[in-house]
Amino acid sequence: MTISLKQQRIATEVSTSSTPSVVDAYIQDVRESQLYANGKPVVLNGQSLTLPALAYAARRPRTRIALSADPSVRSGVEASRAVIQSKVDRNVSVYGVTTGFGGSADTRTDDAIALGAALLQHQHGGVILPNWRDSCSEDSSSEDADESDEPLPLNDPVSGTTMPESWVRGAVLVRMNSLIRGHSGVRWALIEKMGQLLIHNITPVVPLRGSISASGDLSSLSYIAGTLIGNPGIRVWSSQPCITSTSSNGLANGSKSAPKKRVTRSGRTILPSRKALEHYGIEPLPLASKEHLGILNGTAFSASVAAQAAQGLQSLAMLSIATTALATEALTGTAHSFVPFISQARPHPGQITAAATLHALLQGSSFATGTEQGAHAVEEEVKIADDAGLLRQDRYALRTAPQWLGPMLEDVAKVRETVRIEINSTTDNPLIEAHGPASPTSDGGKDEPVPGTVHHGGNFQALHMTTVMDHARLGLALLGKISFAQLTETVNATMNRGLPPNLAGGEPSLDYGFKGIDINAASYLGELHSLGGMNVGVGSVSAEMHNQSVNSLALVSARYTLQAYDVLSLLLASHLVVMCQAVDLRAIQREFSEHAARVIRSEVALTLSTAIASPVSEADINALSALLVYEIQDCLDKNSTMDTPARMSKAAGAGALPWVEFCASRPDLIVAAASFPALRSRLAARLARLSGELKCAYMGIPVDVLPRTTTTTSDLPASIASASRGPAPASVYLAPATRALYEFVRVDLGVRMHGSANIRGDVFGMRSGGLVGADVEGEGVEATHGDSISRVCEAIRDGRMDVVVAGMFEGAVAAASA
């Protein structure tokens, strides 16, 4: 059965009409983030907070935050507040204002402020280590003591028990955006006060664990409320130095007084909330009726962490497409796997997008095949007799990439849309529906009610966040699976189509290249499998007097999803560094093959002219050279695990049979058959030298480091043999799109090709003297693999990689459409 062009077009239209391209959305998100970097404010109106805005503001404290200037937004907040105030003034019973909470809602009180304080009191139960009580007060001190007997912690006590500041900042932003919708009965001043925390970069220290995300993230949000009222028992991260003083008691005893321990991080200090507020001239805000519950009763933390996880999922999914394109080039794969016909025959939107993007990224590549005719490329037919027994198609990790990445792209769109709705929702209970203006009554009396309705419901149940985070975590694990498959096939000499084992830049017997990274990648994938297999949503248990009989554990799921993001970013950073090494080695292989053909021809011509008195025709030289080139190259590809001298000797020897057969078949050349041993010796030496000179040129090291066991040279032109290829030597062979990614790693991040120390013979610790004690960043000293991968990982996590990948996609799609 064949599919007509009309059927293909219809299938494409149907599959893409309901789902905007996730690649286009990604490009727009990256560009939006750049606007915030350039000073555009994040404006909150309760309706249009985007994931890029939230993620950017959460992680970058200098982001400008503004409340909507639309008068209707403020009037909506004030109208809902008026409804609550009217109920309080008329002694109307309202949940959380005159009643207890949850399973204790059968209690009653007319003291709404004391009730709110009791709410905060019982929710401030999270465990934070170490205990910072009084550690920053002016009268704090401790005797000078030997602390050597103190046990070292099993985990970092700060990061192990408290949330990262970005999670908390994101939660403040989400809660402000929810409250500003005018359904919560809080004052405008409360929303402004929350904004001051963000503006002055005062971040509450919030326990990592404790929320079940049922009646919202109650415990977590209580620490934001405690900060707003200046509770000295609540700690914050601040740029203000911690205040300490010596104790007169210590001085009287003649001992040197030492301040108590305090925690600092990147210029940030933990101190009591009241001191931080005072430092910035911020007055604590006594909360009014319903406001305690208005802060606590929402999904802000679940949504904040989920939003940042969703951003991470999108970034890593897009990077997976980019690294797959580079892997296709590294393994000399084919773009035929990504032609439109294949995906249009199975028109899942994500698969179509993944295939089209991969195909566009590979256009112009010298390594990938099937790009010459664009989307209409036709695979070259090969007769059985000429097929040489090679793989007829790429392995799964490349060939089925659209089918594997496609579902991930569809999940990205679903996850992001669900989280977008959540961060622009009201997740309180009760909800206030105001029916009239904000002013209580025309005559100011308290007996006439303000029109409005109080609705009791359960918008705080955060299961939407749980389900998408559970699914996102599975997606991150699946992205890791294809990344690992591509990585391990590339370092495996039996699968990588002629590249050295472990992608060693030096000799395989003494340079194990990326073997350790291959092992690390397996560790990363194993952890991703464990995280991806979790289904947090079905793990909840009854809580709070069985009132919270079903709870979402959304924050737990989002936490684990960000953990999976961290692990996958390590794997993809490793993958990208490995692929850059692979394309460098592929470029050396390509250039070696081109120059080796000339070396072989010159040696064939020299040997024949020496052995035979009469002139030899150019046709015979060319014919015999072609036979040797084929056999030698085939032998080289099959023996990449050998060190260079032995490998070149064996490869040169592979020409024996075609040489003897060719010469013996010609009476005028038969005398030259016996000359092959001399040819083999010279050829092996010249090819070995050629290989060494090219590696030196690609790694930017002088050729005089090569062993001088022979005076033979490769006869390369001086401009080729001695000239460094620069920091990004494989650029000329790559597609314009993937070239940008490769050059970002090689040039911008300074991650150079590995192997120079192995070729020089000065690997740190190899022998006494030499580099012992040298600075790892010193001239000519290679960074560790881990340091190189760390640079890439940092670029992934801080957003620089997104700018590069979005630019790749934008340029490739534009070129494909031209």
For the four alpha carbons of 555, 201, 293 and 67, in that order, the dihedral sign comes to: negative
- Strand, helix or coil for residue 415: helix
Phi-psi region of 716 (alpha: psi -120 to 50; beta: other; left: phi over 0): beta
Lookup result for tokens 């032995």: 646
DSSP 541-603: --BTTTTB-S---HHHHHHHHHHHHHHHHHHHHHHHHHHHHHHHHHHHHHHHHHHHHHHHHHH
Backbone angles phi, psi at 614, to 5 degrees: -80, 155
Give the number of domains in the chain: 1
Whether 659 is covered by a domain: the verdict is no
Whether 258 is covered by a domain: the verdict is yes
Q: Is 556 exposed, middle or buried (0-12, 13-18, 19+ CB in 10 A)?
A: buried
Range of the domain at 264: 41-141+154-298
Which pLDDT value is given to residue 818?
64
Q: In the 8-state DSSP scheme, what is residue 784?
A: P
How remote is the C-alpha of 30 from its chain's centroid? 14
E strands in 359-459: 431-434, 452-455
Which pLDDT value is given to residue 384?
65
For the stretch 587-641, pLDDT in tens is 999 999 999 999 999 999 999 999 988 888 999 999 999 999 999 999 999 999 9
Contact between residue 318 and residue 809 where contact means Cβ atoms under 8 Å apart: yes
CA 598 to CA 587: how far, in whole Å?
Answer: 17
Which pLDDT value is given to residue 132?
57
Strand 452-455, strand 235-238: pairing: unpaired
> What is the helix (H) or strand (E) element at residue 265, kind and residue range?
strand 264-265
CA 575 to CA 486: how far, in whole Å?
Answer: 8
Residue-wise burial string across 768-786, b where 16 or more C-beta atoms lie within 10 A, e elsewhere: eeebeeeeeeeeeebbebe
Contact between residue 237 and residue 203 where contact means Cβ atoms under 8 Å apart: yes
Strand 42-44, strand 65-67: pairing: parallel
Which pLDDT value is given to residue 143?
47
For the stretch 169-223, pLDDT in tens is 999 999 999 999 999 999 999 999 999 999 999 999 999 998 878 888 989 999 9
Q: What residues contact residue 476 under an 8 Å CB cut-off, 6+ apart?
A: 313, 316, 528, 531, 532, 561, 564, 565, 567, 568
Whether 50 is covered by a domain: the verdict is yes
Whether 354 is covered by a domain: the verdict is no
For the chain, which residues score pLDDT lower than 70?
1-20, 131-148, 241-266, 372-380, 384-392, 437-447, 544-549, 708-723, 767-782, 818
C-alpha to C-alpha distances, 444 to 82, 434, 539, nearest whole angstrom: 12, 18, 52
Whether 266 is covered by a domain: the verdict is yes
Q: In the 8-state DSSP scheme, what is residue 452?
A: E
Catalytic (active-site) positions: 95
CA 514 to CA 751: how far, in whole Å?
Answer: 14
Query: Nearest to residue 213, comparing CAs of 535, 427, 461?
Result: 461
Neighbours of 759 (CB within 10 A): 20
Which pLDDT value is given to residue 750?
95
Residue-wise burial string across 403-413, b where 16 or more C-beta atoms lie within 10 A, e elsewhere: bbbbebbbbbb
Query: Nearest to residue 643, comparing CAs of 507, 794, 478, 759?
Result: 507
Structure tokens at 360: 């566009």
Roughly what angle, to the nearest 10 degrees, separates helices 218-228 and 165-179?
Answer: 80
- Strand, helix or coil for residue 726: coil
Q: In the 8-state DSSP scheme, what is residue 105?
A: T
How many angstroms separate the first and last alpha carbons of the chain? Answer: 32
C-alpha to C-alpha distances, 426 to 174, 300, 421, 433, 438, nearest whole angstrom: 10, 10, 10, 12, 19
Whether 171 is covered by a domain: the verdict is yes
Mean pLDDT value across the chain: 86
Whether 311 is covered by a domain: the verdict is no
Integer Rg of the chain from CA:
34
Whether 76 is covered by a domain: the verdict is yes
- CATH code at 68? 1.10.275.10
Structure tokens at 768: 């006494």
